[in-house]
Structure 1
Amino acid sequence: MKKNIAIIMGGFSSEYQISLKSGNVVYKHLPKEKYNAYRIHIFKDKWVYVNDDEKEFPIDRNDFSVTINSEKITFDAVFNAIHGTPGEDGYMQAYFALLGIPQSSCDFYQAALTFNKRDLLATLKPYGIKTAVSYYINEGDAVDTKAIVSKVGLPCFVKANKAGSSFGVSKVHTEDKLEEAINVAFKEDDEIIIESFLSGTEVSVGVINYKNETTVLPITEIVSENDFFDYEAKYLGKSKEITPARISEIQEKNVRATAKKIYEVLKMKGFSRSEFIFIEDEPFLLEVNTVPGLTEASILPQQAAIAGISLTELFDNAITMALK
């Protein structure tokens, strides 16, 4: 008997349009002979099932069910394709845990932790994971630009602490531009992390639970046409994503070991994609994404393809692991 799978997409953040694209790719590639797939749009003002005719049916949030033509549909598992809140920060994971519905991404604690850049880096530091020098500001704090420059130097990166797809991120070259960048970041979050600039090769490393094994996918080198790997570089073609990355054997060995260690130390499940910059042969962690882009052009699916894993196999495995 085929399983009913809800593919949740959308969300409350600036990433909702990217999430809709990811969710539709999952819907397209989930094997129809195994699953009845349902596209579920999650927005602040509505939760709805959207059928192939774009007709909407409201979701009953009491048990995450939908009624279609007087028939109540419940779900055996959920495929999480929501980037940002509430799909990548733990809210949806906790909701499904309370309802007892398996879902494809990591558990709620890991989602909340990895979504908070400051907390993630602090948690991993005792395990020897190298990171940039950082400075924290919360909304309402006095901004001391001289203290910031003294600690992290210039250029530096100003980032919203809890946001993805490079929303709220600025590269700052001079002290007089710091406050402007801080205001941009505060549009996305009420917490900010300011990090020292790391000059080196940037790579993205996908790690997944594939057939019950922690699997590090082929590494992608990021070469941005812009000043850094910003939204345009990620989604508007202003970058080159080279898989496998043009790095040395020792760099590859080190970053694969570090990415796998992070996945296992945090007791992750499902997908993860970690970003690193090499300083000589050592990888410095930038962030961990637990609901990475899943379109045909996204980095993790590219890596899976190089590893011989099709989108159908990738998504089918995610559901299989969730159901186990």
Structure 2
Amino acid sequence: MKNIAIIMGGYSSEYKISLISGNVVFQNLDKNKYNAFRIHIFKEKWVYVDANDTEFPIDKNDFSVVIDANRIHFDCVFNAIHGTPGEDGLMQAYFELLGIPQTACDYYQAALTFNKRDLLSVLKPYGIKTAISYYLNQGDVVNIEEIIEKVGLPCFVKPNKAGSSFGISKVKSAAELPTAIEIAYKEDNEIIIESFLDGTEVSVGVINYKGETTVLPITEIVSENDFFDYEAKYLGQSQEITPARISDEMTQKVGAIAKRAYEVLKMKGFSRSEFIIVNDEPHMLEMNTIPGLTTESLLPQQAAAAGITLEDLFSNAIELALK
């Protein structure tokens, strides 16, 4: 039996969603193959949490835990942390130094994809289209006219490195921009302001399944809100239609772009890329490398549509990491 540490929590606003994802992984791992351990990673503590919610501290020197005088080491780490330090490369680099396999991409890919600006600029030479964007770092002079001249209205103001739509605003007038910028700065010290793309939003899961890069059935997102925000994602205020209501040609086209991005970046594990299709051209918004794994989340829905159970999805990730 292999000892699997499922890491969850994290240091960002996404920690609650990560705890749900981690518990879904815990519930769906094959108990005949794996001894699963729920590990909570927080700024103030790294602990193993047992069935009675008793906490045992993790030894950060070698990522082991002592339970009833037995020291337990882990064969593999299942990474279910959305946001920092699980999705931005910090945990990946730590496990690489310790020589412990983990299910997510490598640290460089994690850091790159977590930074929306850098990701899109790396993919641009490969012909992948994006929104028009304007960048701000905290402390920069904000020139409202210049921003609007470049990206137009309405536009989106986003933290550069944050997930689950925390800190994102849709801005419809120049007067709303300063407030939106303040909100984004609460999540990150870098901001990306993007032109509004009026089209069909789709989410494309790409995974390595049994050694092959596999594009999962595509999900179309129809938000009841102004955009696919936190409420739309997690509180049911959106329709998520899998497979998406797009033509076979477009399904092939957007799937091929998502697959290309995965392969160009030398990704591993799960990824979920978001696109908006405008005039038959997919524009990439971002790529998530630790997508939500709750039962409501898109990647599990897409896997189900492909006939892949959660147990299969999670076992496959562990087996590939162990190889």
In the other structure, the counterpart of 1:19 is 18
- The alignment status of 1:179 with 2:170, answered yes or no, reads no
Q: 1:131 aligns to what SS in structure 2?
A: coil
CA contact (8 A) 2:40 2:46 kept: yes
Which amino acid in structure 2 is aligned with residue 315 of structure 1?
A: F
CA contact (8 A) 2:168 2:229 kept: yes
Alpha-carbon distance, 1:316 to partner: 0.3
Alpha-carbon distance, 1:282 to partner: 1.2
CA contact (8 A) 1:250 1:281 kept: no
Distance in 1, matches of 2:288 and 2:141, equals 30
Alpha-carbon distance, 1:136 to partner: 0.3
CA contact (8 A) 1:46 1:58 kept: yes
CA contact (8 A) 1:274 1:285 kept: yes
Give unmatched runs, 5+ long, in structure 1. none
Alpha-carbon distance, 1:273 to partner: 0.1
CA contact (8 A) 2:206 2:215 kept: yes
In the other structure, the counterpart of 1:41 is 40
Distance in 2, matches of 1:228 and 1:303, equals 21
Distance in 1, matches of 2:277 and 2:189, equals 30
Distance in 1, matches of 2:111 and 2:97, equals 16
Alpha-carbon distance, 1:249 to partner: 1.6
Distance in 2, matches of 1:295 and 1:94, equals 25
In the other structure, the counterpart of 1:169 is 168
Distance in 1, matches of 2:279 and 2:216, equals 22
In the other structure, the counterpart of 1:120 is 119
Identity %: 74
Distance in 1, matches of 2:88 and 2:178, equals 27
- State TM-score, norm by structure 2: 1.00
Q: 2:66 aligns to what SS in structure 1?
A: strand
Which amino acid in structure 2 is aligned with residue 269 of structure 1?
A: K
In the other structure, the counterpart of 2:255 is 256
Alpha-carbon distance, 1:186 to partner: 0.1
Q: 1:166 aligns to what SS in structure 2?
A: coil
Distance in 2, matches of 1:179 and 1:258, equals 35
CA contact (8 A) 2:62 2:98 kept: yes
In the other structure, the counterpart of 1:240 is 239
Alpha-carbon distance, 1:281 to partner: 1.4
Alpha-carbon distance, 1:17 to partner: 0.1
Q: 1:21 aligns to what SS in structure 2?
A: helix
CA contact (8 A) 2:234 2:296 kept: no
Alpha-carbon distance, 1:151 to partner: 0.1
Distance in 2, matches of 1:154 and 1:64, equals 49
Alpha-carbon distance, 1:251 to partner: 1.1
Q: 1:254 aligns to what SS in structure 2?
A: helix
In the other structure, the counterpart of 2:109 is 110
1:191-241 CA distance string (max 9 Å, x none): 000000000000000000000000000000000000000000000000000
Runs (4+) off by over 6 Å:
none
CA contact (8 A) 1:83 1:291 kept: yes
Alpha-carbon distance, 1:280 to partner: 1.7
Distance in 1, matches of 2:117 and 2:51, equals 41
Distance in 2, matches of 1:268 and 1:183, equals 33
Q: 1:31 aligns to what SS in structure 2?
A: coil
TM alignment of 1:258-297, pairs within 5 A: 258-297=257-296
CA contact (8 A) 1:254 1:281 kept: no
Which amino acid in structure 1 is aligned with residue 165 of structure 2?
A: S
Which amino acid in structure 2 is aligned with residue 280 of structure 1?
A: N
CA contact (8 A) 2:106 2:267 kept: yes
Q: 2:246 aligns to what SS in structure 1?
A: coil
Distance in 1, matches of 2:279 and 2:29, equals 41
In the other structure, the counterpart of 2:151 is 152
Distance in 1, matches of 2:102 and 2:128, equals 28
The CA RMSD over aligned residues, in Å, is 0.4
Alpha-carbon distance, 1:97 to partner: 0.2
Distance in 1, matches of 2:295 and 2:228, equals 19
Distance in 1, matches of 2:253 and 2:143, equals 37
Distance in 1, matches of 2:242 and 2:40, equals 32
Give unmatched runs, 5+ long, in structure 2. none
- State TM-score, norm by structure 1: 0.99
Which amino acid in structure 2 is aligned with residue 322 of structure 1?
A: A
Which amino acid in structure 2 is aligned with residue 181 of structure 1?
A: A
